[in-house]
A and B are shown apart, each in its own frame.
Chain A
Amino acid sequence: MSETSSTKKTVLYNLHVELGAKMVPFAGYDMPVQYPAGILNEHLHTREAAGLFDVSHMGQVVISGENPARAIEALIPGDIQALSAGEMRYSFLTNDQGGILDDLIVTRRENDLFVVVNAACKEQDIALLTGGLAGKAEVTELTDRALVALQGPKAVDVLARYAPEVVAMSFMNYREVEIDGVPCFVTRSGYTGEDGFEISIPNDQAEEICRKLLDETEVMPIGLGARDSLRLEAGLCLYGHDLNEVTTPISAGLIWAISKRRRIEGGFPGADIIQADIANNPAMKRVGILPEGRAPAREHTVITNEAGETIGEITSGGFSPSLGIPIAMGYVPLDFSAVGTKINLLVRGKSRPAVVAKMPFVEQRYYRG
């Protein structure tokens, strides 16, 4: 369990160690994969009460300029100009082939954009944004802030004790609030399928605020292990697994993230290919998969048809703590993408039956006001 000198630490590292976390390298950071309660308990607790996640490894970026909302639309297919200040949207950076370079969340603020990108992609993304927006907008990484997620049905009760105004926020909304006198950026969003918040806190006050939140009876610290099983149950994509530079947004089932205006107007990298995908349907589609029996089918498991021919691959797979059964998602040809279609999974050389299933596996419970 040695750590290399190149592994970075978030400002909450000491707190994780003190809480007994098992630390693992992830996207260049030493991150907690689980705490002593274990992934199953952490997962179930988040669904029942509230969990606190350190996601400070992710990139927090501010884009400012004359009209950053219009400028960024040259790089992403999201309809950012349609957002009012305080609203946010899920989108992705695309390449000229219509593939996805990263997925991200863009918040429109009064005078700029606040963007959160994946840890593993942040250097690439910042370079891409900086280059792509040169002359139009300025891109600044906020290295002075930590990011935590407070997720679960009790998250709002807990956070409202510190900042009562968060109660009025709807899903995918942003507000600047003071938590214990500390100015924070709060969004009602997350990666678990539950109601909850992501909170951007100045580095030097992050540990203190996290300690306070963890002292609340409803809140437990949650590691990356449960973060992954929660998002899989919610049917949410993980970049580098369910999405990559060769999957198009349409193939990934993310057409909902491209507004009618942007579908028609284009004007983002790979627009022609994505428009063709919309018109003609993509060759492959991301689907939910329920393996029969109890054996989980992991990422890269081969999907075959009933004749035993390879038709696709699982991109995320594991065990659903909420349902007590294995769940997965993967890509199959369009002909096999209907819910109820029988497929087979090659798990350790053995063909096992499975069925294409509806996602999310566990109902999302976002607060829409």
Chain B
Amino acid sequence: MSYKFTEDHEWVLLEGDVATIGISDYAQGQLGDVVYVEVPTVGDEITKGDELAVVESVKAASEVYSPVSGEIVDVNAELEGAPTVVNEDAMKGGWFAKVRVTNSAELNDLMDEAAYKTFIEGLDE
């Protein structure tokens, strides 16, 4: 299994039919110190492009959009007490939610790690 990325800096890791979703290390660096994360409710249905979570830094709130459609099967409860995990471990411990995907073909449009690296290099120029 390998990470896939959106242009909005979300990452998806698909294991079986369950996609774990978070934001990239680049994104957490841009946001700065995360002070609050609003995660979705387990059992809710989500459509690709819908708001999945909201990440608040000291200065602003940023929406995180779901790169896939499906049912929310788990959320990262640890973030409530320790939102800085998003800064410290964006690609693993800082995940937001797990979605049982209804259409895994939605992942085909996403970038792989190498393409995403090129993408963010272009942004910093």
- Which residues in A have some Cβ–Cβ distance to B below 8 Å? 1, 33-34, 38-41, 43, 225-226, 228-229, 294-296, 298, 318-319, 321, 326, 348
Contacts and interface: CB of A to CB of B under 8 A. Distances in A.
Interface of B: 32-33, 35-36, 38, 54, 56-61, 80, 83, 123-124
A296 B56 CA distance: 8
Which of B60, B123, B124 is packed against the most chain A CB atoms within 10 Å?
Answer: B60
Given A318-B58, A319-B56, A296 B32 contact: no
Contacts of B36: 294-296, 319, 326
A43 B54 contact: no
Nearest to B57: A39
A295 B54 CA distance: 10
Contact of B59 (A39, A295, A348): A39
A41 B33 CA distance: 9
A40 B38 contact: no
A167 to B, nearest CB: 33
Contacts of B35: 40, 294, 296, 319
B32 A39 contact: yes
Contacts of A38: 32-33
Given A294-B80, A295-B56, A319-B56, A39 B61 contact: no
Contacts of A43: 58
Given A1-B124, A298-B61, 16 more contacts: A34-B32, A39-B32, A39-B58, A40-B32, A40-B35, A40-B58, A225-B32, A228-B59, A229-B59, A294-B83, A295-B36, A295-B38, A296-B56, A298-B60, A319-B35, A319-B36
Which of B33, B54, B61, B80 is packed against the most chain A CB atoms within 10 Å?
Answer: B33
A188 to B, nearest CB: 27
Contact of A319 (B54, B58, B123): B58
* Majority secondary structure, A binding face: mixed
Contacts of B32: 34, 38-40, 225
21 contacts: A1-B124, A38-B33, A39-B32, A39-B59, A40-B32, A40-B35, A41-B33, A225-B32, A225-B59, A228-B59, A229-B59, A294-B35, A294-B80, A295-B36, A295-B38, A296-B56, A318-B58, A319-B36, A319-B56, A348-B38, A348-B54
Contacts of A319: 35-36, 56, 58
A326 B56 CA distance: 11
A191 B80 CA distance: 31
A228 B59 CA distance: 8
Contacts of B59: 33, 39, 225, 228-229, 318
A26 to B, nearest CB: 12
Contacts of A225: 32, 58-59
Q: Which 9 A-B pairs have the closest CB atoms?
A: A40-B33, A319-B35, A39-B58, A225-B59, A294-B36, A319-B58, A38-B33, A296-B56, A38-B32
Contacts of A40: 32-33, 35, 58
